[in-house]
Amino acid sequence: MASKNIKGITIEVGGNTTKLESALKSVDKQVYGLNSDLKNLYQALKLDPHNTELLSQKYDVLQRNIAETEKRLQALKTAQKQMGDYSKLTDQQKSSYNALSLEIAKSEKSLMGMKSELKESSQIDLSALKSGLQAVGSIAATVLKKVLEITAAITGALAGLVAMGVKS
C-alpha cells in the first residue's frame, strides 16, 4: 500500500482512515469540549442575558472554538487532497472521500455560524454600558458625599447638645 504524508497526517490509498481519525482525535476533543462550554454559557445567558461576564466568556470561547474548528477543517481538507482524484478511487475509497466531504461541509457550516455569532457578539455596544456605569458611579459618589455632609452636621449638632447638657 502506498501512502502520502502531509503535515503529520497519513492517508493510505487503500481507504484506511484510522490514522486520520487518530490525528483528528485531539482536535475533535478540543472542539467538542468548547461546544459543551458554549452550550452551558447559552443556558446561563438565557437566565441572565445582560450579564457582561458571561458575554465576555462566550466571546472568548467562540474565538477558541473557531480556531480549533479551522484546524479540524484544514486537517480534513488535507486528508481529502491526499486521497487524490475522485474518478480514480475505488468504491471503498469513494465512500471514505464522500465521508470526508460531508465532514468538511459540516465543519464549514459550523464555522460560518460561529463567525457570524462572534461578529454579532462583538457588535454589542459595551461603551454605552460603560458610560451608564460611570453615570451610576458618579451618582453614587454624589449621594455618598451628601450622606457624609449630613452625618457630619448631625454629629456636630449632637456634640453641641451634649456640650450644652453637660454645662447645664
| Grid cell digits, residue 61 | 470561547
| Eight-class DSSP state of 4 | E
Beta strands in the chain (DSSP E): 3-6, 9-12
Burial class (CB in 10 A: 0-12, 13-18, 19+), 159: exposed
Scan for cell 460561529, then name that residue.
Answer: 114
Residue type, 123: Q
Q: pLDDT tens, 57-110?
A: 888 888 999 998 998 899 888 888 888 888 888 888 888 889 889 989 998 998
Ranked by mean pLDDT, which of 5-14, 131-140, 144-153 comes out on top?
144-153
Mean pLDDT of 128-149: 68
What is the Cα–Cα distance from 98 to 86, expressed in whole angstroms?
Answer: 9
3-state DSSP assignment of residue 123: coil
Lowest mean pLDDT among 8-22, 74-88, 110-124: 8-22
